Amino acid sequence: MTDASGKEIQAKQKTEVGTPAEQTSPGAVFVPAVDIFESEKEITLLADLPGVKSKDLKIDLRDDVLTISGDITPLEGADEKDIIIEYEIGKYFRQFTLSEVINQNKIDARLEDGVLRLVLPKSDKAVPKKITVKAA
């Protein structure tokens, strides 16, 4: 437990992704809330993804860009009618640029109770890129 004991959670509306032009399929896309922390050996990311099943979650690390996207299947039945709608249902999407070199083979992702825990181990030795300068 952190220092939050006794504190009440504030109700917050979800934030929509700022660039809707990048999405090809219709529907709202939201930015999940995350915690990111770093120890000497690894970077850990926790993301709130309520309603996302593990088969609908995509995690991609390419050129230092970490992409998390989660599709959801609405739970509402076909003949249910809305009475009060306070939160919207939609996909989740968020990208991060990583400054550390990550050991891609040892990435560990777990999704439990709608929370993703992604452990990104830092690479033992960052392989330096060889740059050759050609003489004109």
Partner 1 sequence: MFIQRPFYFPEMTLRGAFTELDRMRQGLDRFMDGYGGRNFRLPTAGVFPLINLTDDKDGYFIRAELPGIKADELNISATGKTLSISGERKIPSEGKDVRYHRREREAGSFSRIISLPGDVNSDKVEANLKNGILTVRIPKAEKAKPKQITVK
Interacting residues with partner 1 (CB under 8 A): 1-2, 4, 6-13, 28, 33-40, 44, 46, 48-53, 75-77, 79-89, 113-115
Please, what is the minimum distance in Å from the beta carbon of residue 120 to partner 1?
Answer: 12
Is the CB of 89 or the CB of 107 nearer to partner 1? Answer: 89
CB of 134 to partner 1, least distance (A): 39
Give the gyration radius of the chain's Cα atoms: 19
Cα(126)–Cα(122) distance, integer angstroms: 9
- Compare residues 99 and 132 and give the one whose CB is closer to partner 1: 99
Distance in Å, CB of 130 to partner 1, minimum:
30
Contact between residue 85 and residue 74 where contact means Cβ atoms under 8 Å apart:
no
Nearest approach in angstroms of CB 88 to partner 1 is: 6
Q: Please check whether residue 94 is in contact with residue 29, taking contact to mean a CB–CB distance below 8 angstroms.
A: no
Q: Name which of 84 and 133 has its Cβ closer to partner 1.
A: 84
Q: Output 107 or 117, the one with its CB closest to partner 1.
A: 117
Are residues 79 and 47 in contact, defined by beta-carbon separation less than 8 angstroms? Answer: no
Query: Cα separation of 43 and 120, whole Å?
Result: 5
Rounded distance between C-alpha atoms, residue 66 and residue 45, angstroms: 11
